[in-house]
Every structure is written in structure tokens, then in C-alpha cells.
Structure 1
Amino acid sequence: MESTPAHLAPSPTDPWRLPVFCLAAASVLALTLQLTNGTLREDSLRGLTLCLGLSLFAVVGPGLRRPWTWAEPVLALLVGVALLLQLQALLSDYPAASLRLNGPWPFAPFHERLATAALVSGALLVGPERLRQVGVPVLLGVYLLLGGWILRHAPAPHIDVFVFQVQGADELLRGGNPFAMTFPNIYGHSLWYGDGLVKDGRLLFGFPYPPLSLLFATLGRALAGDPRYAQLMATALAAGFMAYARGGRLGAGAAALYLLTPRGFFVLEQSWTEPFLVMLLSASIFCALRFPRALPYVFGLMLAVKQHTVFLVPLAFLLVPEPRRLWGLLWRAGATALLVSLPFALPDVKAFFHSVVALHVHQPFRTESLSYLAAWVVRGHPPPPLWIPFVAVAVVLGLSLWRAPRSPSGFAAAAALTYATFFAFNKQAFCNYYYFVVATLCVAVASARLPSSEVAGR
């Protein structure tokens, strides 16, 4: 019998508690976002607190090292229960906010495809491996049909992010500099922007996301006329990476759980860029398990797609099997991130820094955010210091590096805990922020290797 490759070998530090509690945290947070679209309310704040507690226990709680040969079937059952809860949420409310529908049964096509996705997901959880080889691509195809239906019936959501991506992509296709342009203020007020950033109906900043995000959006705009089609494809690819990272029922189930996250279609409709980050994080985990030589470069692309990915750098320690390999991973990843970013920054460094960095530092406090700081202010207290989320993240990073399993699953679980903490104590935190946390928890479940009798006897 062939030996298992080192990067695929089960880790004795991957106890069953990690996928169990990550699954619970993902389900709780996904259903919490359904309550208020990720805005502040007492029940949504309680859901966020429960998610944080479950995530913390997944990363730093005590584990059972003894064999548990029936853990995967039990976890598959739990995934099935979570999927049923999500499907119920999808059927009980609008899947998105800007749909333009006509006719007596406008949701019939969506619900028919949703039923197909549910049946395929169930088959993935209970069927043999040969069925999963066919079922996973079918599930991804059905999701693309669901997402395409959403985009066709919500062609122009009233949100600035959509404007940024459409006009930024058009500017790039014309040969201009999207980071030095301005945008129309579609809201007619300046409450959601920093001081001095609105004048004469224009937003005085350029494309507010890193260049790699712009490139993805431009690809969707150029090929399909809508940048959100790039996000649709990114979501499907992320699920594919989840399903095939470890394989088996758990991987396929976690991918289905991610695709059918109730507010996932809302995130897609609103043109938020988190799907790009989820795709690259899932690809990084996939490479860590299947193609470790590609990991530094995919990890570097992940660092280049959002501003806050800097928190993933110290957690890279959990991705490499040996500490001496950490430097090789980081310098290659850093070089990759610079390679895709500098060509867009160098033509106008000042404009680039203003749009991609300074703009976000000066964003105003949002009292409707799903965060503890917003709840504090709503109760009549003055806004707290802005260093609080960074201190909270430093504590969580320290705990994660001390206690988290040194494995791709441990990395994903620690990343989910880190970002859930950062958003929960931040001045702005909305549905798309926590959607990334849900996705990262699903990645942790998909990449977990459960202890078995065979492993324990080695």
C-alpha cells in the first residue's frame, strides 16, 4: 500500500472539536446575518457573541486525541441539519434586496434550482465517493444558475460598491488610472464617507480596493458586462477548492453549506468583493494540502486582494509543516503581492495611497454596524478608541499561534476567529464582513482531518 504524502497525512493535533465547533459557529453566524442583513440588533449581537464563543473553543479548546471512527458520519449529519436550516431561511425571505420580478410566481425558477441544489447536497452527504465525483460539479453548476438568476433580476443595485467596480473597470479598459478618478455620490449625502471626501456630488477618491480586486472585477465587466459575474465564478471556484481539498463527505458538505449561505446571494447582488478573498483563501488551503509548491504564490495573491489580509501573515506559521519553511513562504508571497500591485501604484503613488489606504482609515463610525463598539455608542456612550480592535486581534493571534492545530484546518479556524474578533470590535462591520467569516469557517470544516484508529496507532 502506498504511503500517504506528508502534506496529506492526518495530523494528531486536528481533534474532532475543531470541525464540530467551526460548523456550529458557521451555522449560527449565517443564520444571524439573515436576521438583519448584518446590522445591529440585540438578537443579532447575541448571535455574534455565540459565534465568537464557538470559534474560540474550536481554536483553543481542549481536544480528544482518542480514535473516533464514526466522527465523519456524525459531522455529515450535522452538516445536513445546518443545510436544512439554511434552506428554510432562504425559502422564508427574499434572497436579495434589489430584485425586479414580475408574474404570479416570480420565484419559481429560483426555488426549482434551489430544490435541485438541496437534493444534490443531500446525495453528496450520504452517497458513495463515485457519486461525489459527479455530484460536486453538478452542485457548482446549479449554483451558477442560481447566481445568474439573481444577477439578471437585480441588474443595478443601489450601492456605491457596484458603481466603483463598474466605473473602475471601464476606466481601466479605457487605459485610464482607476485609482486617480472620482465617482458620483449616488446617496446624495456624505454620512457614510469621511470628512472632505464629498464635493459637488462627487466622491473625491479613486477605486477603493487593491489592484487584484480591480482586475477580477474588470474581467467580469469585459466578458459578461457585469463585474459581479467574476464574483459569481469566484464563489463557485471557492466551493470547488473546499470540496476537493480533502475530499469526502465533509468537504462536499462544507462546500454546499458555503454556497447556500442564506445571505450569500445578497452579497453577490450587492457586488461586495469578499468572494475574491474567499476564493484565494480556499485555493491557499487547497494548495497547502495538494500542491504545496504553489502555496507561496497563491498565498501572495490572497494577501494582495484586500487591505486587511495583513492579519493572515502571522497565521502562516500554522500552514507550513516546519518553521524553517516559513521564511520561504513569506518572501515568495510578499514578492507575488508586490508584483500584482506595484504596476498600479507607481503611476500615481499619492492617489493610490489615498484611495486604497487613507480612505479606509478615515471612514466614519457607523452606529448600525454589527459590532460591540456600535452597541456601546447606541447606548449613549461616546465612541471608544479605535485601537481596541487591534488589541483584540493581537490577543486572538497570540492564542491562535499558541493553541491552534498546526494544519491548514487550524489556519482557517484561526483566521475565522481573528476576523470575527476584528469586525466585532470595529467601527464598521456589515454583512459582507461576516460573510467572509462564515466562508472561512466552512474552509476549516472542509480541510479538517479527523482522528482515526489507523492514525492513532501510528
Structure 2
Amino acid sequence: MTLPRPSSGDARALTAVLGVLCLSATPASPQWVVPVALAAATACCLVVVLRAQAPTTATGGTPGAVPLRDRLVIVLVVLSATSCGIQVGSRLLDGVAPLGVAAGYGALAWWAVRAKSVGPLALLAVVHATALVVGVHALDVRIDVAEFVNGGIRALLDGASPYGITIPDVYSPEESLAYFGPGVVVDGRVLYGYPYLPTPLLLDVPGYLLGDVRYVHVAALVGCAVVARAVASDALGRALAVAVLTAPTSMVVVLAHAVEPVMALLLCLGAVGLLRGSRAVGVLLGLYLASKQYLVVVLPALWVVRRAVGWRRVVEACAVAAVVIGAFLLWDPRGFVRSALLLQLRQPFRDDAVSLLPLVAGVAGPLPGWLLATVPLAVGGAVSVLLVRRLRPGATTFLLACSLPLTCTVLVSKQSFANYFVLLGTGLLLAAVTWAVDDPVADEPDRLGARDVPQPRR
């Protein structure tokens, strides 16, 4: 028996659900529940997106009516915003009135979805941004990323290579061994410098000068929601803009100095630039690619850019990424290779990762290093190529080809935490937003790669 093919609308709704789940991804008990649930949702989403049926010209139904599947997603978004309120209330008010804060978040989220004006979303953004900034000043988080980011910026402003520094170790000896591996910490110092690619470091400088780099991260989260709301053309799109803003993990990620919010904003701006034919696409995507090492998995997504707007933007993106990375590599070759490459390879397997590997290791025993290094890249790269070949070129396909493969990679990686899923969830939600005006589900000839369908400039 042949199963009926899902519609493009079904694929859009499932992509939105996966995005909301990614933005809620935190460790739970038992540990395997969250990664298994995310893996199942990712597999379902991938299958439905690849099998989805191209939309027809006849829409049917009541004009302006919201389909049931979209209504269910909207309810999920409001529940997610309510959960965000619980997280904020629990952390800032010591559990005194988290339910009151949650109710306020849920009410504002519902209002922002229902209203066609941007006022309710703007109010929610002010409330949430204020809560995050208060958390930045009121809550102390012990994490190595803070030392890496602040130390790197201090070195940069002093004219020294951020990749050649060392930072103080903030962990106990047992924690340091588990988090960094042997030989990385000596005499209370981590013998490596800034561990990421240069773009987030450069974009964090204004926040550092204002008093805290996390101001930039808060602004980036709000910026992602603004971009999503600007593109939204229906009730589901408005709801997903709310979901981007009120990620239940946003407080955790901001407090931890994670750079993914900045990366998510670059991805959103680049995708919308692609949608609207902006000349800044190459620069934005180049900065995005020069943000973190794991983005090597999504390089096939550049083929979508080539098919949609031509080689010029691809060349510009590669050139910008090469200039940004190359400048720091030439400045301090030894420090850059040591901190940006070797440290990533030396970091040990984390049994607390939001990944399938702790479950696999618990059953099969210690996993070989070659498997930890190759399988995540191979899985993500294969999924990226598959999406690029099967879907219609455009902004939505670009977002899907950046987010779905990386989700697969993260779910089989040795390290996988909430900050990664903020980037993935934001990309998936924006893909569901742009879907309404840039449907990626093509007819059969396009799916087989027989001809390109360039996107019109908007």
C-alpha cells in the first residue's frame, strides 16, 4: 500500500514544530529522552519535507481560515512562551512567582499572534530583553566561555592575537579533565585562546565596550524575532516570530556567553537578503560561515545560493569568509591552528551532551575517536546535499539546508548543548516563516535537478 504524500503545508508545520522543540532542548531525566525525541522529530521532518507534494493553484477551504495543523503549532508556540516565562521567573525571582510570570508571557504571546500590528510583539520583546539584561547583572554563571570571549576581546583591543592567549581555569581539576581533556590545563591556566572563528569575536566588541558582551547577544535574539516578524505573512508566521523571541533556553544561552545568537542573526539576515535579492547577501553569508567550525557541514547550502542568484554572491561569501579567517590565521598561525582547530579535536566526549552518543556509549561501551570525528560530519554533509538536490532553490531551502543537516550532526556529536539548538531552532523557524512566500517544495522536474528556478527579486 502506497502512503499518501504529505502536503507542503504539512512539511511547513512539522518544520515549525521541530524548531520549537530545538529551542526547548535542555537536559532532562532520564538523559536519553530529549535527544531521542529530537532525533525522531528530525527524522520525521526530513522525510516529510523530502516527500511533500508541490502546492496546487487551487487552495480550497475558507479564504483567510487558519488550517488546524497551523492552529496546533500556534498553541505549541504559546505553551513554549509560557515555559520561557517559567524559566525567567524561576531564575530571577527565586521561584517566588514563576507561574505569574509564565501567565504574563503566555498572554503576551497570544496577543502578539492574534494582532496584525507589531505592537504586542514589540512589548513582549521589551519585557523579555529587560529580563535577560537583568539576569546578566543579577545571576553569576561559572563557565569557561566567558573567559574565552572576554579574554579574546581584551587581547584584540590590546593589539595581541586572541588565539595566542591563555585563560584562567574556572573549574575544579575533575571538571577540567572532563571538559577539556588531559594536558589542556596547567597550573590553573587553560593553554588555549579564543576557540571559535573570528566573526562573533568582532561583533561582540561593542557589547564589551558597553560593559558586557551579552548585550550584543540579547540584541541579536531580539533582532532574529524582528526579522521573522518582518517576513511573516500569516498567523503562523507571526506565531513563529514569537517563538524565536521566547525560546525557553534563551536565558541559559545568554547567561552562558554563547555566541550562537549572533550567528542566528547573521543567518536570518542572509536568508532574508537572499529572499529579497539584496546585494549584501555575500557579505552576510561570508560572516556567517566565518563564525564557527561546525558550519563546514552546511557548505553544500551555497549551491542553493548559486542556483537562486548566481555565482557572484557565492564568490563574495567565500571571499569574505576567507578574508576574515585568513587575517587572523596570518596574524598568528600557530595560535590560530592550536586554539581554533586542535582544541576542537582534543575536546573529550561529553556524557552529559544532548546527543544520541551517550545512549549509544552506554550500550556499546567507549566509542572510537575516528567515529566521533567522522560520523557527525558525514551524516550532516549527506543530508545537506540531499536537501540541496531535492528542493527548489531559494531562501527557505537555504535555511533548511543550513539547519536540518546541522541538527543531524549535533545529535550524533560528542558535544551538544542548548546553545547549538538555539541556532538550529531559529533557522528552522525562519524557514517555516519564509515558506509562505517562498515554498521550497518543487515539482518533479525541479526535484530531480533538471532545471533551476531562480527566485524573483522582491
Q: Residue 332 of structure 2: SS of its match in structure 1?
A: helix
Q: Which residue of 2 aligns with 1:7?
A: none
1:78-157 alignment, distance < 5 Å: 78-93=72-87, 99=91, 105=96, 112=101, 117-128=105-116, 131-132=117-118, 134-154=119-139, 156-157=140-141
Q: Contact (CA 8 Å) 1:242, 1:443: kept in 2 or not?
A: yes
Tell whether 2:425 aligns with 1:441.
Answer: no
Question: How high is the TM-score relative to the length of structure 2?
Answer: 0.84
Residues 384-432 of structure 1, C-alpha deviation per residue, up to 9 Å, x if partnerless? 4231112212321232122233221122123221011101111111121
Q: Which residue of 2 aligns with 1:220?
A: 207
* Counterpart-to-counterpart distance in 1, 2:304 and 2:342: 31
Residues 100-121 of structure 1, C-alpha deviation per residue, up to 9 Å, x if partnerless? 757x94769xx55x65554443
* Counterpart-to-counterpart distance in 1, 2:131 and 2:241: 15
Q: Contact (CA 8 Å) 1:59, 1:413: kept in 2 or not?
A: no
Residues 206-257 of structure 1, C-alpha deviation per residue, up to 9 Å, x if partnerless? 111122111122221111x111111111111111112213444333321210
Residues 13-50 of structure 1, C-alpha deviation per residue, up to 9 Å, x if partnerless? x932332110121233344x2452xx971321331222
CA apart distance, 1:182 = 0.1
What amino acid is aligned across from residue 345 of structure 1 in structure 2?
Answer: L
* Counterpart-to-counterpart distance in 2, 1:16 and 1:72: 14
Q: Contact (CA 8 Å) 2:18, 2:38: kept in 1 or not?
A: no
CA apart distance, 1:436 = 1.8
Q: Highest relative contact order (Cα 8 Å, sep 6+), 1 or 2?
A: 1
From 59, 81, 85, the counterpart of 1:68 = 59
* Counterpart-to-counterpart distance in 2, 1:321 and 1:200: 53
* Counterpart-to-counterpart distance in 1, 2:304 and 2:113: 29
What amino acid is aligned across from residue 185 of structure 1 in structure 2?
Answer: D
Between stretches 379-388 and 409-418, larger displacement belongs to 379-388
The share of aligned pairs that are identical, in percent, is 24
* Counterpart-to-counterpart distance in 1, 2:286 and 2:106: 35
Between stretches 337-346 and 286-295, larger displacement belongs to 337-346
Tell whether 2:413 aligns with 1:429.
Answer: no
Change (3 A) 1:127 1:100: closer
* Counterpart-to-counterpart distance in 1, 2:216 and 2:350: 29
* Counterpart-to-counterpart distance in 2, 1:394 and 1:303: 15
* Counterpart-to-counterpart distance in 1, 2:26 and 2:348: 25
Change (3 A) 1:72 1:235: farther
Between stretches 364-373 and 415-424, larger displacement belongs to 364-373
Q: Residue 177 of structure 1: SS of its match in structure 2?
A: coil
Q: Residue 160 of structure 2: SS of its match in structure 1?
A: coil
* Counterpart-to-counterpart distance in 2, 1:353 and 1:417: 29
CA apart distance, 1:451 = 9.0
Q: Which residue of 2 aligns with 1:244?
A: 230
CA apart distance, 1:337 = 1.6
From 273, 279, 304, the counterpart of 1:293 = 279
Mind listing any 5+ residue stretches in structure 2 that lack a counterpart? Answer: 1-6, 444-458
Q: Which residue of 1 aligns with 2:447?
A: none
What amino acid is aligned across from residue 32 of structure 2 in structure 1?
Answer: E
* Counterpart-to-counterpart distance in 2, 1:278 and 1:451: 20
Q: Which residue of 2 aligns with 1:370?
A: 354
Q: Give the count of matched residue pairs.
A: 425
Between stretches 170-179 and 361-370, larger displacement belongs to 170-179
From 20, 44, 51, the counterpart of 2:13 = 20
Mind listing any 5+ residue stretches in structure 1 that lack a counterpart? Answer: 1-13
What amino acid is aligned across from residue 305 of structure 1 in structure 2?
Answer: S
Q: Residue 418 of structure 1: SS of its match in structure 2?
A: helix
Q: Contact (CA 8 Å) 2:397, 2:431: kept in 1 or not?
A: yes
Q: CA-atom RMSD, angstroms? A: 2.8
Tell whether 2:179 aligns with 1:195.
Answer: no
CA apart distance, 1:167 = 2.2
Question: How high is the TM-score relative to the length of structure 1?
Answer: 0.84
Q: Which residue of 1 aligns with 2:49?
A: 59
From 381, 396, 407, the counterpart of 1:420 = 407
CA apart distance, 1:313 = 2.3
Change (3 A) 1:178 1:254: same
Q: Contact (CA 8 Å) 1:245, 1:285: kept in 2 or not?
A: no
CA apart distance, 1:142 = 2.8
CA apart distance, 1:262 = 0.9
